[in-house]
Chains A and B, each alone.
Chain A
Amino acid sequence: MRHGYASFLLAHCLRRFNGERTLAAAYHLFSGKKSAQTLQDSKWFQLEPLFGTWKNVTMTALEAAAAALVEQRLALSAKQRTYTLTAAGEEWFVGQAALFPRHLNGWRYHEAEPLFWQRLSLIGQTLSNLVYGRRFAPICRDERTLQWVKQYLLAKGSRQMLAEALYQELIRLLEAVSEEAAAIFTLRLTSAVRIGWTMEQIAAHLQKDALYVQFQFRNVLHYIMAEAEAGRAPMMAELMSGLTPAVLTQSAQKTYEWLRKGKTVEDIAKLRRLKRSTIEDHVVEIAANVPGFSIAPFVDDEKAAAIRAAAQALRTRKLKEIREALDGKVSYFEIRLVLAKEVGRWTS
C-alpha cells in the first residue's frame, strides 16, 4: 500500500467532517471517547462504524497520517487543525473505497468485542486441545472469561459435537468474508498445534500494514457478532450472551428512566446532583438513540422547524453558525436536539 492505512482511515473521517472538525475529533472518535460531543459527532457525520475501533490511537499517529496526506497533495490543511480532501484526494479515496471494512460497527460492538473475542478464542483453544487430548495454558487471563467458558463447556456436554459445531459455524461465517480476511482471522486463533499469531506477525507475513490487518480482523469479528444477533449463527449467539450492547450509556439510561416518570430536566439535575448541562447531554443522547423519543417537550415545533431550515440552507452542522443565523433565538441545547433527531432518522 502506497499510503499507510492510517491515512486511509483518516481520509474517511476528513471527508465526512468536511472541514467542520479538527483532528482531535477524529482522535476521540477512534479512541471511543464517551463524551456527548463525540457520541453526537459520530452520529452526525455517520462515522458510527469507526467509533472506538482504534483504542490505542495517538494524536502523533493521526498527525503523521494527516501530514502524509498533505504531502501527497491529497488533503489541504485549513485553519485550526482542520483538513479537507483535495480533488485528487477525493479521487484517490474513491478508488480505494474497497479497503473500508464494510462490516465494521464500532458504535454497536466496541465494548462487547474484547470479551466476545476472548470467549471465542478460549473456547476454540479449549476444544482443540480436548480433541488432541493435550494440556494447555489458556490464551486468556481474564477471570470473567475463564469462568464463563468453564460454565459454558460444562453445560454443553459432548465436546466432540461442540467442536464439530464450532468448526461448521466458523467455516460458514468465514466463507462470507474475503479470503484475506478469513485467513487473518484464522491465524489469530489459537489451537492445540499453533499459538495464535500477533497482528504484527500476520502483517509481516502478508506484507501489509499492521493497522490494516487489525481492521480486517475487527471487520470479521463485527460481522460474526452481527450474524449472531440476527439469529444466523446459533453458537456465536450463545457466546454473545450478556454482551449485547446497551443503547445508552448508563448515566443517560438513568436520566431516561426519570424522564419517563415525568420529571423535568431541572428535577433530574437536582435529584441526581448533576449539572443541568450533563442532563441535557443525556437528553441529546437519548434523542439520537431511542427511536420514538419525542423532543417536543424540549423544543417547540416552530423553533425546531427553523433550526432544520437553517441547517439545510447553510449546509452545516456547526452549532454556532446555525445559532447566529437564527439571531441567537434558540439555545445550543435545542439545536443539538433537533440535529440529533434528524441524523437519527437518516441512519436508522
Chain B
Amino acid sequence: MDELTKTLHMQFGYASFRPGQREVAEDVLAGRDVLAMLPTGSGKSLCYQLPAYLLQGSVLIVSPLVSLMEDQVEQLRRRGEKRVIAFHSLLDAEEKWQALASLAKFRFIYASPEMLQSAKFLTALRRVCISLFVVDEAHCISQWGYDFRPDFLKLGEIRRTLGAPPCLALTATAPPEVQEDIIRTLGMDGARRHIYSVDRPNIALRVEHCSSTEDKAARLADYAKRLEGPGIIYFSSRQWAEEMARRLEQRGVGRVAYYHAGMDGEQRLLVQQQFFYGQLDIVCCTSAFGMGVNKENVRFVLHFHMPAQLEAYVQEIGRAGRDGAPSLAVLFYADGDRAIAQAMAEAELLSPRELREWCRRLPEGAGWEAVMAALETAGFTDIQKRLLAYFLEREQRAMPGWLTAEAKERLYGKMAAAIEARRRWKRKKLQEMDEWVHLSSCRRQALVRAFGEELTDRRNVCCDRCGLSLDGYERAVRRPEAAPVRHWREELWDMFFGGGRTNEAAK
C-alpha cells in the first residue's frame, strides 16, 4: 500500500479513492498550484484534508459560507481531529483571538474572507508556515460565476502577502470562462487543472411543463407523493416553501418541513439534522439549504421555480444520489417562471433611474470616503451594496481625487455601464437556462456542453428527451408513519435510559 492510500485508510477509514481525489492530492503534495473541478458530492474536501496529514505546517482554507465551514470543522472533529480552528467573524469570542498567538499548532485553519481583511489576523497568519492555501467554492471569485462574492477578489493579494504558498482552488461548477478568472485572480498561472465532468450519471433529468402555478403545485404534490424519498424541493421564495410544506403535509405526503434563511439558527439546524437522521421525508427550501448537507441517500430533487442559471441548477440537483444509487431531478415549469427568475436574479442591480438619483445626491467636492459612506445610508439591500461597492472600488483606482460635477457624471456613466453589462450577462445565463428547459434533444448532452464538455457515451437512463420511465423511482412500500409521540415522561426516559427497557418509573 502506498503512503497516500495508507493515510486515507488511517485518517479517514476509506479503502479507496473516489475519482479525482488521488490525482489532485498527488499534485498538491508535489507543491503545484491546482484548480480542481469535481462534481458536487464527490468528496472535494478530501483533496486538501488528506494532504494536510502529509504536509508540514498548516493548511489555510478560505470558505464563503459560515455554515459550510462549521460543517467541515464539525466533521473533522468528529473524526477525532483536534488541531482545527475556524475564524468566521470579527465578533468571535475573546478566546479565539487569544488562539492567534498559537496559530501554528493547528493543522487546519478555516477563515472567512471577512476575517482575512483583519490586519491582526493576517499578521498572525504570516507567522505560521502555510503549506497550502485552499479556496473552497472558488467560483465565487468570478464576477461571471454564479454566487459572485466581491470579497473573494482580494484572495490573490492575500495569498501573496502570505508568501504565495501553493494554492488549491476547488469548485463544483465553473464553466471555462470562470476557470480562467479563478486562475488569474489567484495568480496561479501554470496551475494543473483537474476538471471532472459535471455529469452525474445516476441522476435522471426531467422537466414538467405545466399550464399554471396551481397546476405546478398540484403536479409537484403528485410527484412528492409517488416518489421514493427522501427528497428536497427548491423554491425561489420563502413564502412558497412554507406554503407547499403545509400543503404536502395536509395531503399526507409524509413528514415535511420547510427551511429558509428567515428562520433562526437553531430551528434551521434542527430541520437539517432531522433530515439527515431520516426523521423527515421532504424538505421544502430555498437555495439556503444544501451546502453542507452531507446526506448520501437523497432520492429526488424537485424545482418548483427554475434557477436563474444552469450552474445553480447543477449544484442543487447534485445533492441527489451521492451514494451512487438511481435518483431523479424534476424541474416544474409554467409560463411566467422566466420572469420570476429574472426578477430574482436582477434584484441585485439598481435601475438606471435609481443609480442616477444616487449619483446626483453625492456631495460635490467630497472624497471617496464620502462616496462609500453615501452607499451605506442609501437604503440599498446588502447584495446591491456589495455589488456597487465592488464597482466603485474598481472606479476609484481610475479616478483619484475629489468629486467634481464632471467626475460624478463620469462615475455615473461607468457604473451604469458596469451594471448594464452584468444585466446582459445575467439575461444570457437565464436565456441558456430557459433554452435548456425548452430543449427537444438530450438534456444531459446540453448540460455538459454548457460546461465545455461532450458526452462520450450514451446512458441507459438519461432524461425525458431520451425516454424516461418513472417506474424505478416510485415508492415501493408505504412511507413509514412518523413515530408516535408518547407521554413526555416516557420520552424523557428513552432519552437517558435507552428504549426497549421497560420503564416502571414512567407508569
Contact = CB atoms under 8 A, between A and B. Distances in A.
Interface of A: 56, 124, 127-128, 131-132, 135, 137-141, 143-144, 147, 163-164, 166-167, 170-171, 174, 179, 182-183, 185-187, 189-201, 204-205
A125 to B, nearest CB: 9
B267 A198 contact: yes
Given A144-B93, A198-B271, A135 B78 contact: yes
B491 A131 contact: no
Interface stretch (B45-53, B103-111, B473-481, B482-490): B482-490
B494 interface: yes
B270 interface: yes
A170 B497 CA distance: 14
Interface residues of B, number: 35
Interface stretch (B6-14, B272-280, B437-445): B272-280
B485 A137 contact: no
Contacts of A187: 485, 488, 491
Contact of A137 (B74, B279, B495, B499): B74
A-B pairs with lowest CB-CB distance, top 3: A191-B495, A186-B488, A167-B496
A51 to B, nearest CB: 19
B232 to A, nearest CB: 17
B249 interface: yes
A195 B267 contact: no
A170 B269 contact: no
A198 B257 contact: yes
B190 interface: no
A170 to B, nearest CB: 6
A185 B493 CA distance: 14
A143 B74 contact: no
Contact of B273 (A135, A139, A144, A199): A139
Contacts of A201: 257
B244 to A, nearest CB: 14
Contacts of A144: 93
A195 B496 contact: no
Given A56-B264, A189-B491, A193-B494, 17 more contacts: A128-B495, A132-B498, A137-B78, A139-B269, A141-B74, A167-B496, A183-B485, A183-B487, A186-B491, A193-B499, A194-B491, A198-B257, A198-B267, A198-B270, A198-B271, A200-B257, A205-B485
Contacts of B96: 143
Nearest to B259: A198
B496 A141 contact: no
B494 A199 contact: no
A131 B270 contact: no
Say whether chain A's binding surface is mostly helix, strand, loop, or mixed.
helix
A196 B483 CA distance: 13
11 contacts: A132-B498, A139-B269, A143-B93, A167-B492, A179-B488, A183-B487, A185-B488, A189-B492, A198-B270, A198-B271, A205-B485
A205 B265 CA distance: 22
Contacts of A132: 498
Contacts of B491: 186-187, 189, 194
B95 interface: yes
A115 to B, nearest CB: 12
B496 A194 contact: no
Contacts of A143: 92-93, 96
A128 B483 contact: no
B258 to A, nearest CB: 8
B70 interface: yes
Contact of B496 (A147, A164, A183, A197): A164
B488 A137 contact: no
Nearest to A191: B495
Contacts of A138: 74
A122 to B, nearest CB: 11
Contacts of B274: 195
Given A141-B265, A167-B497, A183 B270 contact: no
B489 A171 contact: yes
Contacts of B494: 191, 193
Contacts of B489: 171
A195 B273 contact: yes
Contacts of A198: 257, 267, 270-271
Nearest to A192: B495
A331 to B, nearest CB: 34
B217 to A, nearest CB: 20
A166 B488 contact: no
A201 B258 CA distance: 10
A193 B495 contact: yes
Contacts of A166: 496
Contact of A141 (B93, B267, B269, B498): B269
Given A182-B488, A194-B483, A189 B495 contact: yes
A144 B277 CA distance: 25
Contacts of B497: 131, 163, 167
Nearest to A133: B498
A9 to B, nearest CB: 19
B45 to A, nearest CB: 16
B400 to A, nearest CB: 35
Nearest to A141: B70
Interface in B364-394: none
B277 A195 contact: yes
A180 to B, nearest CB: 9
Contacts of A191: 494-496
Nearest to B506: A171
Contacts of B269: 139-141
A27 B483 CA distance: 39
B425 to A, nearest CB: 36
Given A170-B492, A187-B491, A198-B257, A131 B498 contact: yes
Given A163-B496, A201-B257, A195 B279 contact: yes
A88 to B, nearest CB: 33
Interface string B249-291: 1000000010000001111011101101101000000000000
Interface in B391-426: none
A179 B487 CA distance: 9
A194 B279 contact: yes
Interface string B38-74: 0000000000000000000000000000000010001
A191 to B, nearest CB: 4
A198 to B, nearest CB: 5
B289 to A, nearest CB: 14
Contacts of B257: 198, 200-201
Contact of A127 (B93, B266, B267, B496): B496
Contacts of B74: 137-138, 141
Contacts of A192: 495
Which of the listed residues A141, A163, A171 has the most CB atoms from chain B within 10 Å of its own CB? A141
Contacts of B499: 193
Nearest to B67: A141
A186 B492 contact: yes
A24 B30 CA distance: 63
B496 A131 contact: yes
Contacts of B493: 167
Nearest to B255: A201
Contacts of A141: 70, 74, 265, 269
B200 to A, nearest CB: 25
Interface string B347-375: 00000000000000000000000000000
A317 B472 CA distance: 72
